[in-house]
Amino acid sequence: MKLTNELPPAISDGLRQAGSDTGDIALSIATDINLIGQYVRQWVVASSTTLWVFDEETPQKAALTLAFSETKEFRTMAVYGSGLLQAKVNGIWLDIVRYSNRTKYHFGRLAKQLENLREGKKLEFGPDDEVDPRRCAVSGVILEYPGQLSPFAVKHGAALSRVMQLMRPYWPAAFMMMVLLVVAVALDMIAPRLIQYLIDHVLDPKSSGKSQPFAFLAELKNPTYLLLLVVGAYAIAQVLRAAATVLNGRIASRVGTSISFD
């Protein structure tokens, strides 16, 4: 987004009716919401002496006309879900326009340029005035910090191909990690079944008449033996799952370290 944009014809006509000409314009930028938060575009237009606000729905007449000689300062202020461009007039902060957080960077730059106009300085535009360093140039999403790689800008096919190329010398370790992962998932699925059996066939006092899901347990009539067997199996499953997870983590750490030094 630039700080000087081509005005729509209707806004240009309204500017002429306000007594100015498009050739005198130093700044022109559009908001995406109006002061009450509706999705109505408003244009902030400034010459060397005057600032106007035009509403695209009623462009024939300026919604606000403000001479720089009446102002003492310009600023932006963050509010819930949006921001406000304000001017200090007679000791009171006047709301000029509201903008969404998507455009807050450019309106921050606009406030600085309006200050330059108010002080009679010559406007100089640099790359920072047009490009938000915290916005991804490819996907357009806001980044946590300038220069961060957006996940939406990553070519996933190329990334997967690169990972496979790096993993090629370590395919035995990669295969072992996949096996351990499957084993850990399988052991995780066994634990709920053991708990279900414990509740339905061991702890339930009416379980004697129920059919056993495991044929080899049908001969065990003593509930104490069943309890010890199920609890022991559950403990073994948890120990094996933990061992598989730890071993998988060690292999992954070793492979990752080796790849980082390749």
Give me the residue spans of the domains in the chain. Answer: 9-123, 158-261
User: How many whole angstroms separate alpha carbon 140 and alpha carbon 61?
Assistant: 34
Contacts of 147 (CB under 8 A, 6+ apart): 133
pTM to 2 decimals?
0.59
- Cα 220 to Cα 97, 192, 202, 207, 224, distances in angstroms: 80, 21, 11, 13, 9
pLDDT score, position 17: 87
pLDDT score recorded for residue 89: 94
Predicted confidence (pLDDT) at residue 155 exceeds the cutoff of 80: no
Q: What is the pLDDT of residue 53?
A: 94
Residue 140 has pLDDT above 60, yes or no: yes
| Residues whose CB is less than 8 angstroms from the CB of residue 166 and which lie 6 or more positions away in sequence, other chains included | 259, 262
User: For 34-48, what is each residue's pLDDT tens digit?
Assistant: 998 889 999 999 998
DSSP string spanning 123-183? P---HHHHS-TTB-TTT-PBPSSTTPPPGGGS-HHHHHHHHHHHHGGGHHHHHHHHHHHHH
Question: Considering the domain 9-123, what is its CATH architecture?
Answer: Roll (2.30)
pLDDT of residue 220: 64
The pLDDT value recorded for residue 219 is 64
On the CB side of 219, CA atoms within 13 Å amount to 1
What's the rounded mean pLDDT across residues 46-61? Answer: 91
239-243 average pLDDT score: 92
In which band, very low, low, confident or very high, does the pLDDT at 214 lie, cut at 50, 70 and 90?
low
Q: What was the pLDDT predicted at 70?
A: 93
Whole-number percent of the chain with pLDDT over 90: 37
Percent of the chain with pLDDT over 70: 89
Q: What pLDDT is attached to residue 206?
A: 64
